[in-house]
């Protein structure tokens, strides 16, 4: 018999293994297997909301496979659903396959390749070992566009494009599904004994592998399943996506203008290729319309920008695929001493950050939004990491599990490279330090988002909503809110934990109806400065530069030149990237390799990316088409170019030198 092993691919469209058994013309019996794997569920990153989302996808797929798909989505009581077509067990993968094989010999295993955390990597290796020793072929199909055993990063984009150009596997028709169902083995009826058989989805609340405090669900998360995923994508292409580019930065607008596909992509309810192919189709339609109409539409820019991000997805996942250890180790090893000295970790800071009680309203609102619904936009995620790793000086490894749990879309291949990039430990990216108060003022000027998630501050007037600690006592009294307890001081220097009345924060007292909100747990400016200085010191070391060069060779994005898409070598980069001034005093480490000693002083003083400045100066208008993609940097705002300025086609950096032949940020040749 054939076994289709479902993992993070709970959908019917663009599903090579299901397509093969339903439309491939062989008449072997088959089993469609899904496993709640104890060794994976006990990962510290797992949260009840992840399992609940997966359950919804499983039920949706089972209904489709069994031809009973009339009602969809949240109208179904997931935990009362009885699986018809999918054989589900609560047991390890290699163990279940072995047990199955002993009772009904397996002809072949069909599944999708997974790029995930170290434990799943170990699980896959164990399964492959078992397959080898038992002569059971295992076919792993690509669904992410990453290349396994990529020998050179130069080949990534061409491989990715080749993957996209392949025909999508046929989606089985109702008749083909009916024929397939006749060949499905009913393991219970045939007396096949499998450990941990589940007739209905398992409730995460009952899963012993998950710590009790992580078993609950999130009240306002997105609902899982292919039906919801396709609906979400349709609404994005029909109307929500028009303002994708302009709405991407604010947590208020990105809520609707963003695609919101990330959890569906992570758990495989929609495929990357399906999304790209269909958004390109829409793009072509719009281009055709544009030829006959002169009215400007934001759509084309938005779709180009969206497709770049879809490409980023695989670009980041490739990093983890090529180097699984980056889940635990700094990409650039010279940073490994940073934030790991005996007194660097402060439990109080960590707790305050995790719970959204840092005294910085915008940071707290973002974290509480995640806790409530499991999603927030890119910029806010980056800001949360920047605040934790720079202002609170927390090790990215300490914060990664909490973030993984609050992200419904937790995708290790994006998560770890992004965390490291925001924490400044990759060696090849500019330092990204967010001014959180300014971000709040820019992205949520009247505090709508803050008031929604930090109700203690809902009565606070607009002028104080971003800095409530500046409210005079009389105003606090008038608006019935108390900030801090009066004797806490912003004593970030030296990193002593503050004696803060955090426990009293965000509770309403019965007798007075006064809200408490903490005062800031650190001084924003001085904590940023100290952290930047420490990072800069490491970045300047010769050993860092040497290691960063290796990181670039292995993971850095490449550019298109002539017919050779990924042709630029660091050598070319080095010779052209002479100057490294970025906006108001920022540098890219890559380009800083080649400073003259004279330049070096100036550059190292400016060795920080002020994200706020950067964001407003980078033009999305210039974002490259997907095939030319190669930037790690989000580029969200439209800007006016000053005379002589030009925007790099590759990284979108705004260059000031009108005659420069190469971008001073990434070194790529001007196009
Ligand atoms: C520290 C940090 C951790 C992150 N962890 C995750 C994660 O675990 N899972 C995850 O899906 N995204 C992660 N992201 C990337 C990004 O924030 C989310 O993909 C995005 O917010 C999802 O919303 P959307 O689907 O509306 O995205 P859209 O803007 O509509 O983008 C469409 C898709 O493109 C991909 N994408 C978008 N931005 C990025 C990016 N910067 N890098 C890589 N892929 C991108 C995602 O798959 C996304 O669903 C992380 C970002 C940061 C800064």
Here the tokens at position 378 are: 């890119």
pLDDT, tens only, 452-503: 999 999 999 999 999 999 999 999 999 999 998 544 443 333 333 333 333 3
CATH code assigned at 157: 3.40.50.620
**501 exposure class (CB count in 10 Å sphere: 0-12, 13-18, 19+):** middle
How remote is the CA of residue 341 from the centroid of ligand 1, in Å?
31
d(CA 137, CA 131): 6
Residue 345 has pLDDT above 80, yes or no: yes
Q: Is residue 508 part of a domain?
A: yes
Residue 469 annotated as lining a ligand binding site: no
Radius of gyration of the chain (CA): 26
Q: Residue 577 sits in which domain range?
A: 557-671
3-state secondary structure of 562: coil
Residue 586 has pLDDT above 50, yes or no: no
**End position of a domain, from candidates 472, 503, 525:** 525
Count of CB atoms situated within 10 Å of the CB of 101: 17
Q: Is residue 575 part of a domain?
A: yes
How remote is the CA of residue 336 from the centroid of ligand 1, in Å?
26
In this prediction, residue 294 carries a pLDDT of 65
Residue 622 has pLDDT above 50, yes or no: no
Mutation choice for ligand 1 from 409, 615, 634, CB with most ligand atoms inside 8 A: 409
Q: Are residues 210 and 284 in the same domain?
A: no
CA distances from 241 to 232, 245, 303, 326, 331 (A): 11, 8, 8, 33, 34
Find residue 647's DSSP bridge partners: 654
In this prediction, residue 52 carries a pLDDT of 98
- Cβ(313) to ligand 1 under 6 A? yes
- Cβ(312) to ligand 1 under 6 A? yes
The mean pLDDT value for 292-297 works out to 69
In this prediction, residue 26 carries a pLDDT of 82
In this prediction, residue 499 carries a pLDDT of 33
CA distances from 576 to 431, 473, 595 (A): 21, 57, 11
The mean pLDDT value for 283-289 works out to 88
Q: Are residues 171 and 62 in the same domain?
A: yes
Q: Is residue 356 part of a domain?
A: yes
d(CA 653, CA 670): 11
pLDDT, tens only, 479-489: 999 998 544 44
Q: Are residues 342 and 312 in the same domain?
A: no
Q: Whose CA is nearest to atom 31 of ligand 1?
A: 309
Task: Evaluate whether 326 touches 319 at the Cβ level (below 8 Å).
Answer: yes
Q: Are residues 276 and 420 in the same domain?
A: no
The mean pLDDT value for 542-565 works out to 73
Q: Are residues 168 and 33 in the same domain?
A: yes
Q: Are residues 314 and 353 in the same domain?
A: no
Q: Is residue 327 part of a domain?
A: no
**End position of a domain, from candidates 292, 319, 346:** 319
**500 exposure class (CB count in 10 Å sphere: 0-12, 13-18, 19+):** buried
Percent helix, strand and coil across the chain, each rounded to 5? 50, 5, 45
pLDDT, tens only, 360-412: 999 999 999 999 999 999 999 999 999 999 999 999 999 999 999 999 999 99
d(CA 647, CA 432): 20
Percent of the chain with pLDDT strictly greater than 90: 69
Mutation choice for ligand 1 from 308, 309, 321, CB with most ligand atoms inside 8 A: 309
In this prediction, residue 598 carries a pLDDT of 35
d(CA 132, CA 453): 53
Q: Are residues 103 and 144 in the same domain?
A: yes
Work out the pLDDT band at 296, boundaries 50, 70, 90: low
d(CA 425, CA 333): 8
Weakest-pLDDT range from 270-279, 377-386, 424-433: 424-433
**For 356, what's the count of Cα atoms within 13 Å in the CB-facing half-sphere?**
20
The mean pLDDT value for 339-353 works out to 95
Give CB contacts under 8 A, 24+ apart, made by 666-669. 666/559, 666/573, 666/577, 666/588, 666/590, 666/591, 666/631, 667/568, 667/572, 667/573, 667/574, 667/576, 667/577, 667/590, 667/591, 668/559, 668/568, 668/573, 668/576, 669/559, 669/561, 669/568, 669/572, 669/576
Q: Is residue 299 part of a domain?
A: yes
Find residue 109's DSSP bridge partners: 3, 138
d(CA 518, CA 495): 18
CA 503 and chain centroid, separation: 31
Q: Is residue 229 part of a domain?
A: no
The residue with greater pLDDT, 576 or 120, is 120
- Cβ(215) to ligand 1 under 6 A? no
In this prediction, residue 632 carries a pLDDT of 34
How remote is the CA of residue 357 from the centroid of ligand 1, in Å?
25
Residue 244 annotated as lining a ligand binding site: yes
Residue 633 has pLDDT above 80, yes or no: no
Report ipTM (2 d.p.).
0.99
Taking the CA atoms of 505, 451, 258 and 49 in sequence, report the sign of the dihedral they define. Answer: positive
Q: Which of 98-102, 577-581, 626-630 is modeled with the greatest confidence?
A: 98-102
The mean pLDDT value for 40-55 works out to 97
Helix (H) or strand (E) segment spanning residue 48: helix 48-65
Q: Are residues 209 and 133 in the same domain?
A: yes
The mean pLDDT value for 210-217 works out to 96
φ/ψ of 474, rounded to 5, equals -65, -35
Q: Is residue 173 part of a domain?
A: yes
Q: Of the candidates 459, 503, 484, which has an alpha carbon nearest to the alpha carbon of residue 348?
A: 503
Q: Are residues 300 and 421 in the same domain?
A: no
In this prediction, residue 664 carries a pLDDT of 60
Work out the pLDDT band at 578, boundaries 50, 70, 90: very low
Q: What's the DSSP call for residue 169?
A: P
The model's pTM is 0.84
In this prediction, residue 487 carries a pLDDT of 43
Q: Whose structure tokens read 């029909």? A: 238
In this prediction, residue 76 carries a pLDDT of 81
pLDDT, tens only, 552-562: 888 988 754 43
Weakest-pLDDT range from 115-119, 527-531, 605-609: 605-609
d(CA 228, CA 235): 11
- Cβ(610) to ligand 1 under 6 A? no
Q: Whose CA is nearest to atom 26 of ligand 1?
A: 260
Q: 301-324: buried (b, 16+ CB within 10 Å) or exposed (e) per residue?
A: bbbbbbbbbbbbbbbbbbbbbbbb
Q: Is residue 545 part of a domain?
A: no
The mean pLDDT value for 131-139 works out to 96
Mutation choice for ligand 1 from 49, 262, 381, CB with most ligand atoms inside 8 A: 262
Task: Evaluate whether 329 touches 502 at the Cβ level (below 8 Å).
Answer: no
Weakest-pLDDT range from 95-109, 122-136, 573-587, 639-653: 573-587
d(CA 302, CA 305): 5
The mean pLDDT value for 19-45 works out to 94
Q: Are residues 71 and 201 in the same domain?
A: yes
Q: Are residues 422 and 566 in the same domain?
A: no
Work out the pLDDT band at 661, boundaries 50, 70, 90: confident
In this prediction, residue 558 carries a pLDDT of 74
The residue with greater pLDDT, 291 or 522, is 522
CATH code assigned at 420: 1.10.579.10
Domain total of the chain: 4
Please name the residue ranges forming H helices in 221-355: 226-238, 244-247, 254-257, 262-266, 272-292, 299-322, 347-355
Instruction: Provide the terminal-to-terminal Cα distance of the chain, rounded to the nearest Å.
Output: 55
Q: Are residues 107 and 189 in the same domain?
A: yes
């Amino acid at each position: 018999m054939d076994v289709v092993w479902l993992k993070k691919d709970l959908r019917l469209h663009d599903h090579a293994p299901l397509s093969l058994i339903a439309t491939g013309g062989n008449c072997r019996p088959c089993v469609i297997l899904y496993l709640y794997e104890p060794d994976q569920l006990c990962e510290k990153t797992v949260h009840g909301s992840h399992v609940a989302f997966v359950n919804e996808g499983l039920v949706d797929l089972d209904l489709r496979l069994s031809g009973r798909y009339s009602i969809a989505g949240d109208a179904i009581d997931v935990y009362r659903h009885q699986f018809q077509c999918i054989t589900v067990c609560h047991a390890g993968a290699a163990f279940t396959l072995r047990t199955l094989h002993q009772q009904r010999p397996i002809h072949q295993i069909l599944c999708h390749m997974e790029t995930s955390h170290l434990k799943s990597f170990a699980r896959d290796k164990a399964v492959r070992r078992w397959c080898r020793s038992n002569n059971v072929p295992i076919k792993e199909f690509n669904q992410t566009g990453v290349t396994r055993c990529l020998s050179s990063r130069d080949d990534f984009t061409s491989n990715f494009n080749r993957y996209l150009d392949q025909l999508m596997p046929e989606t089985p028709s109702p008749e083909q599904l009916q024929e397939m169902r006749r060949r499905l083995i009913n393991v219970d009826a045939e007396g096949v004994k499998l450990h941990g058989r589940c007739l209905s989805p398992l409730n995460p609340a009952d899963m012993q592998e998950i710590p009790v405090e992580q078993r609950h669900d999130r009240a306002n998360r997105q609902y899982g399943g292919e039906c919801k995923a396709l609906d979400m994508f349709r609404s994005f292409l029909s109307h929500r996506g028009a303002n994708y580019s302009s709405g991407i930065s604010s947590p208020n607008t990105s809520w609707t203008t963003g695609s919101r596909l990330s959890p569906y992509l992570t758990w495989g309810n929609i495929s990357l290729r399906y999304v790209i192919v269909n958004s390109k189709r829409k793009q072509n339609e719009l281009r055709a319309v544009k030829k006959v109409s002169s009215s400007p539409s934001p759509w084309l820019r938005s779709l180009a920008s969206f497709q770049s991000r879809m490409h980023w997805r695989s670009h980041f996942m490739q990093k983890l695929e090529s180097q699984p250890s980056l889940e635990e180790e700094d990409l650039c090893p010279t940073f490994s001493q940073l934030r790991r000295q005996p007194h660097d970790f402060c439990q109080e800071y960590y707790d305050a950050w995790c719970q959204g009680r840092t005294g910085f309203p915008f940071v707290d609102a973002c974290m509480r939004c995640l806790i409530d619904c499991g999603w927030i936009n890119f910029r806010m995620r980056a800001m949360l990491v920047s605040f934790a790793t720079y202002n609170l000086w927390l090790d990215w490894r300490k914060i990664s599990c909490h973030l993984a749990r609050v992200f419904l879309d937790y995708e290790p291949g994006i998560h770890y490279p992004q965390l490291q990039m925001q924490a400044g430990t990759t060696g090849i990216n500019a330092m990204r330090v967010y001014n959180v108060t300014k971000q709040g003022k820019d992205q949520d000027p009247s505090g709508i988002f803050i008031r929604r998630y930090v109700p203690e501050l809902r009565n606070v007037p607009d002028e104080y909503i971003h800095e409530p600690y500046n409210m005079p006592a009389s105003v606090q009294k008038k608006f019935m809110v108390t900030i801090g307890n009066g004797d806490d001081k912003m004593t970030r220097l030296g990193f002593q934990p503050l004696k803060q009345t955090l426990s009293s924060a965000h509770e309403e007292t019965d007798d007075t109806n006064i809200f408490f909100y903490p005062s800031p747990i650190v001084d924003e400016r001085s904590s940023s400065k100290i952290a930047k200085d420490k990072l800069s010191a490491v970045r300047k070391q010769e050993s860092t530069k040497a290691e960063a060069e290796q990181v670039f060779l292995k993971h850095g994005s490449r550019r298109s030149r002539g017919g050779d898409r990924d042709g630029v070598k660091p050598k070319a980069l080095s010779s052209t990237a002479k100057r490294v001034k970025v906006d108001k005093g920022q540098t890219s480490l890559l380009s800083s390799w080649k400073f003259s000693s004279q330049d070096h002083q100036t550059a190292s003083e400016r060795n920080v990316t002020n994200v706020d400045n950067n964001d407003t100066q980078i033009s999305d208008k210039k974002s490259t088409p997907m095939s030319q993609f190669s930037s790690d940097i989000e580029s969200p705002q439209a800007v006016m170019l000053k005379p002589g300025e030009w925007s790099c086609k590759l990284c979108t950096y705004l260059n000031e030198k009108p005659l420069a032949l190469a971008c001073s940020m990434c070194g790529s040749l001007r196009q």
